[in-house]
Structure 1
Amino acid sequence: MSCIRFNTPAQRQAMRDHAPVMLTPEEAAALHHAPAVTESKIARLRLLATHTNPKIRESVASSYHAPEDLFETLAHDPEVSVRACLARNEAVPCDILRSLADDESETVRGWLAVNFFVPADVMERLAEDPDDTVRSLVRWKSDLAVAG
């Protein structure tokens, strides 16, 4: 038996007629408040940042609520994937992003190049990066800024 389902035109119209009203992003955000950042949440982030599984540390590096000292620690994580998550996180302070411009991994520097919160002086350094991909990402982001 096939798992492909074929709906009749009448069934498709009925689904369209009963489809939920789409909310704007602002309306959806108003309905789904983010939980407050509490001391216990920060304590959990600190604990998770030391986890042996790099995927867990990546989630901390992607957090908008981690304290600055935790971002600083994760900037020196041995896993490229953790540092890459940090490089693309818009909440990471500029000085930590600056330090990632010298990262040994072109993946980290590439994610840094597409982060719109990276300071201009870092973008200038990345424009001269030894890696072709990093330089092309800098050009791509620059072209987006000019077109927008």
Structure 2
Amino acid sequence: MSCIRFNTPAQREQMRRLAPSQLTPEQVAELHPAPPVTESKIRRLRLLATNDNPKIREAVASSYNTPADLFEKLASDPDAGVRACVARNEATPCDVLRALVDDPDEQVRGFLAINYYVPQDAMARLREDASQTVRSLVRWKTELAAESELAAV
């Protein structure tokens, strides 16, 4: 017996009509508030940022609550995965993102290219990156932004 379900056009239309409307990020945040950031949490992040395991340092680099000085430290981490997490984190300070433009790892620069919070001067440099992949990601993000602007009009 198959678990695949084939719906008729009428059933699909009814499901579309009855589907809940999409919530905005603000509405989601109201429904699911984040716990407050405490000094204890910041101390834990500082401790975890020094862990020998790069996956644990990646978790710190991915946190929106990571302090700016830790982002600076993690941006020069020997592990490219940690630096990639810094590059894609929307909470990373602009100066740290600018510094990652010269990262030797293509994946780090690729994640940087798709981060919407990268300053325009850094994006201009990524547009001229030696890597075809990075240049393609910059083009893709630019096209997405243009499509979003057209859809908003």
Same fold (TM over 0.5): yes
Structure 1 residues 27, 120: closer, same or farther in 2, change over 3 A?
closer
Structure 1 residues 45-56: aligned runs within 5 Å: 45-56=45-56
Counterpart amino acid of residue 89 in structure 2: N
Correspondence list, 1:1-148, <5 A: 24=23, 26-148=26-148
1:118-147 per-position Cα deviation (integer Å, ceiling 9, x unaligned)? 000001000100000000001111111112
Q: How many Å apart are 1:88 and its aligned residue?
A: 0.3
Distance 1:65 1:135, change over 3 A: same
- Compute the TM-score of the two structures, normalised by the length of structure 1: 0.83
Question: What's the Cα RMSD here?
Answer: 2.4
CA distance in 1 between counterparts of 2:132 and 2:3 reads: 47
Query: Could you tell me which residue of structure 2 aligns to residue 11 of structure 1?
Result: none
Residue identity matched to 1:115: N
| SS class of match (1:101) | helix
How many positions carry a matched residue from both structures? 137
Unaligned runs of 5+ in 2: 5-14, 149-153
- The CA distance in 2 between the partners of 1:22 and 1:57, in whole Å, is 37
Larger Rg: 1
The amino acid that maps onto 1:38 is T
Query: Aligned letter for 2:56?
Result: I
Cα separation, partners in 2 of 1:130 and 1:82, compared to 1, 3 Å: same
How far is the alpha carbon of 1:32 from its aligned partner?
A: 2.4
Q: Separation in 1 of the partners of 2:142 and 2:89?
A: 19
- Identity fraction in percent: 62
In 2, the alpha carbon distance for the partners of 1:144 and 1:50 equals 37
Aligned twin of 1:12: none
Q: Could you list the runs of 5+ residues in structure 1 that have no partner in the other structure? A: 7-15
Amino acid at match of 2:75: A
2 CA distance for matches of 1:124 and 1:22? 38
> What's the offset of the Cα at 1:5?
6.9
